[in-house]
Amino acid sequence: MWNLFQQPVERESFESWGKMCDDIAKVALLALPVILYSKESLEFRSLNILFLCIIAYACLTIGRIFRRAFKEK
């Protein structure tokens, strides 16, 4: 229970990690309008939007990897 990375990893762990990555990506995408309409400078908003898009893409990719690993087990 305390060692999350012990072998073999349970199927439920892969499924929950994939869902968690998907949820993080959704939150990053939902935060885009908040950043877009903030009162910060254009450069600051652009940089934050870029970072949020990168985070969303990375989380969706990692979630896909976890789902593929879940299907293989």
pLDDT at 70: 74
Q: Which residue has the higher pLDDT, 73 or 20?
A: 20
Note the pLDDT tens digit of each residue in 20-41. 999 999 999 999 999 999 999 9
What's the whole-number average pLDDT of the chain?
88
3-state DSSP of the chain: CCCCCCCCCCHHHHHHHHHHHHHHHHHHHHCHHHHHCCCCCHHHHHHHHHHHHHHHHHHHHHHHHHHHHHHHC
pLDDT at 43: 96
pLDDT at residue 73 above 90?
no
pLDDT at 71: 76
Domain extents in the chain? 11-72
